[in-house]
Amino acid sequence: MRASPAAILSSLSLPFASTKTRFSGEPLRFKQHVSNTQIFSRPLRLLSKQRWSFSCKCRNRGRNSHAKFDDEGEDFIVVNFYRFVSIQDPEAEIAKHLSFLQDLNIRGRIYLNEQGINAQYSGPSKDALAYVEWLKEDERFSDILVQMSPANGRHAFPKLKLQNKPSLVQYEGGISHLPLLDPPMRAKPLEPSEWKEKLKDLTDDGEASSSDSGRSCILLDVRNAGYEWDVGHFRGARRPEVDCFRNTSFGLSDEKEAPSDPLINVDKEKTDILMYCTGGIRCDVYSTVLRQRGFKNLYTLKGGVSHYLEEEGTSEWVGNLFVFDSRLSLPPAAYSSNSALDETRITPQTPVDTSFARCYICDSQVQELRHRNCANLDCNLLFL
């Protein structure tokens, strides 16, 4: 008798789904034999440390929350924002958000804790923006910077996760001990126009430059990993030599341990350090780490690359922007001013430069700035 997929998975001692995130949307081996109902039918449940997980079917409420939504013809968008602010009772805050969100067609990741909120989610524009407007009614979030981009006519996330997370972003040792709620301990945020002017101080040959006054400037890509750089980056930024943000260690090692660290032996008083990431939160977090190490002149790109592309276009930027959802990467035109809701912007009329991007296997120039997942579950590598 032929064994069932579940029996095969059990015999291999594999988890039901890969423990590593897959972004490409390609089906996992074995998972393709399991229906979507089985995969996304977990009920609303209370997780460890009071984490709420709001899944596609909320049996505890006696209704199928996703089945009631008709997505056809909807203009879907993806929304991103974060805010470091003191939240005295995260569990009570989550309950408020959950009560508002239960009737909205929203899926994604919304993390809250004592240090603030970090959100990335998709939904029809009316629902996605309704949550933003509701949040802004709270004076703690009234001036929050919200980034929007088109979602290809469908959800970019499989379900909604609303959780009390110990860390708003993953970093080795956690971030709860970092002074994120103390603005002077974070880097100075630069408006996109200011950032562009700063980039003019950089040479065409590398990420560092020096002026006649003895001051120097270093550009750091503080995103999650090198594979993000591979599809797009600011000119002059070195490819990060890490496989995830939690292992970022710029300025934390000596020359013997990390000879390629661009912050080794720099003058902490006279060096301007420019840090950028997709939406801004990782830079904010890491700037407090460097501040504690004595670095004085720290700058971040306000709103991250997505805000820069909206305000300044492709000036000093090359390629696409990697995103952590089913879309994987977006052309700069997707963020053009006043067109975040226009689905046609996802396919810009002007081609994106792909000349810098190379196949990981044969080193040929790639034609599409979009990653794939290795089909081997034990590998799961994101590659071009």
Catalytic positions are: 277
Supply the DSSP string of 209-227, one letter for each residue: EE-TTS-EEEEEE-SS-HH
217-220 LR contacts (CB < 8 Å, sep 24+): 217/271, 217/272, 217/273, 217/274, 218/262, 218/263, 218/266, 218/271, 218/272, 218/273, 218/274, 219/274, 219/276, 220/250, 220/262, 220/263, 220/273, 220/274, 220/275, 220/276
Give the number of C-alpha atoms closer than 13 A to the C-alpha of residue 141, restricted to the C-beta side.
20
Structure tokens at 196: 């562009």
Handedness of CA 163, 169, 170, 174 (dihedral sign): negative
Identify which of 8, 324, 36, 9 has the alpha carbon closest to the alpha carbon of residue 157: 324
Give the number of C-alpha atoms closer than 13 A to the C-alpha of residue 219, restricted to the C-beta side.
27
Structure tokens at 76: 């879907």
Residue burial 307-331, b: 16+ Cβ < 10 Å; e: rest? bbbbbbbbbbbbbbbbbbbbbbbbb
State the amino acid at position 237 in one-letter form. A
| Sheet with 271-276, side-by-side order of all strands | 188-190, 297-301, 271-276, 216-221, 208-210
CA distance 194 to 200: 10
CA distance 220 to 172: 19
CA distance 268 to 290: 10
